[in-house]
Structure 1
Amino acid sequence: MRHLFASISIICFASQPVLAQVRSPLEVVAEMEIAPGNITVTPDGAIVTSLHQLFDPAQAVVEVRESGELLPFPDRAWNDRTSGESAMLDTVLGIQADPQGRVWMLDNGMRGQLTPKLVAWDTRGDRLDRVIYLPPPVTVDGSFVNDLAVDLTHNYIYIADPAPGDRAALIVVDLSTGVSRRVLQGDRSVVAEDVQLAIDGVPLTQTRPDGTVVSPRVGVNPIALDGADEWLYFGPMHGTSLYRVRTSDLRDRTLADAELSARVERYSDKPICDGISIDREGNIYITDLAAKAIGVITGDRRYQLLITSDRLSWPDAFSFGPDGYLYAIANQLQHAPAFNAGDDRSRSPFYIFRLKPLAPGIVGR
């Protein structure tokens, strides 16, 4: 793997407005031989990525060193799935560093059929901070805890679980007690819409074990907090709407399901997307899968393309870094064996990028 700083041209799509205020081109930070999942950058500048489970990586999480070397994170022992220790990392996608230097890893446990969990590693003390398990009824049959948003203002974490159909939901974790709750299950704001993802004109399909071919419909996946931790923004991956709800309402255990649902607001249009991130001025960055682009929803709630490139092949996730850049990864997920009848059609390298955002963001998100 190499670290690079090559610029990529900005390409305009005639059918979609492109924001005029792009401040920098897309830069290639690193080329990887294995597909990343999600990314976070710590306050000390370490780049940490999960490795995407659909490519069956040997490690779950790695640190991308400046030299280009990939080091198991936090170390090799924690990435040993054969150890038999339930706390060890099995299948991590969601990952986020907090201002205290802890890296929160969301382990869905799907490869080892383990109970999903949150693992927090203190990078400054180089030690385990805590493990929080997410057993039933917090998770359900088909749960795929995917991404997370860390709220240290109120000491909570919010998790997206795009479980199939009307089982999709959010999970609210109280870090003070370790108690978790499943909320908004089956709500319109978390359930996939009947919309088809096509990339380069090719519809995304999946072959089931019985040989039937289906078009995936994935529920809540994009999830992010605003700079004040006042609002949580989220929506189904396969969906055309972005929603938001006050974090105070998510934390209110007295609200009935219908009352909480009534407080969810439709915020804006969005494309089919994976990860999102929000800067301190409220601009929402979007991984636009079909357009091979990074887009943005600005303060007027309009979606616009920000930057596009053929190298943005399945842009998956973002993180703001301490250097003022917004980091992003592209992992060619549409070419994974799961979507190609068992054939891995991806071609390395896979990329870590960075670009100057429209406004500063919170490091790690």
Structure 2
Amino acid sequence: MTSRSPLSATILRSPQARSDGPLRDCQDSRRSVPLTPTPSHTEARRRERHLLTHRVTLIPGDGIGPEVVEAARSVVDATGVEVRWDVEEIGLRAFERTGEVLPARAVSSIRENGVALKGPIETPEGAGIRSANLVLRKELDLFANVRPCRWYPGVPSLYEDVDLVVIRENTEDVYTGVEFEVGTVEVKELIAFIEETTGIRIRQDSGISVKAISQEGSERIVRFAFDETRRRGRSKVTAAHKANIMKFSDGLFLDVARRIAAQYPDVVFDDRIIDALCMELVQSPQRFDVLVLPNLYGDIVSELGAGLIGGPGVAPGVQLGDDVAVFEATHGTAPPLAGRDQADPVGLMLSAAMMVRHLGDLEAGDR
């Protein structure tokens, strides 16, 4: 069984180019293409680009979102790829205009088009939901968050030899939203149940969040990571966990990862305890190729990876489901910078380049 990913990759490089580290190129695409396009193929793609119009949902977002989104949109338009933009609102601006932070019309647009380019969004108080981003992921089943972390020459950073991909499970773990507030009847009953069934006493003044990791969710993301490693021409997958302590949740994730790894003999597999992984990433990030992690660890390590290459302003990302891809800014709304023309749009521009490759135009994506 192979995971269904709308994001595949073809590496355009010679066999010796693997040692080039951060200078090697990764082309993201839905379908296979020749490693070296022939003139006839290239000409056919140019003709197709003029004939084919892609529908893409455009979410300007909040804060600096409209500024960086407009910059990314102009870059896509400049490639010559025909895109019909369906502009929709999600977040604070949507809430102010419609009373809904996640309008059904916007969600339907993303689902119907299958592709979106999204700026950062804010979930206002009083919206009735914890996070519009979390709800969007659940609504569209965006189970995989892919964050390439590659250093580009000229970007200020303490590191230069960085070229890795963080693949984060996006729907489970402590982000399910199942929590019990301190002092409530429900949390007191839960504390009593835990003590009765395990003998472990939890302080009465505790708040509790549930960490849920399933076999199905773990298998889906791990298989996706191995398939993506093959498509990107990479060679190793590292699974991160805390299975030495959380044996029934992280332990399950690790067991599934080891079982799936045995089905990919051409891909090297290893694992790291999450705290050790963070230390090694800071010491020598070049050791790692593709990382696959449960939700919380993936959230943290994605930001660590962005820090290695110059910050979230230059870090692209995409959230993927079986039939939907949302390419997005990986940074926040930064309200103090809004309207001042000081926000760095490079990260979202790189996400837009990933989107263009995903739409099938590798040449335009590389430009």
Which one has the largest radius of gyration?
2
Note whether the superposition's TM-score is higher than 0.5.
Answer: no
Q: Which has the higher helix share?
A: 2
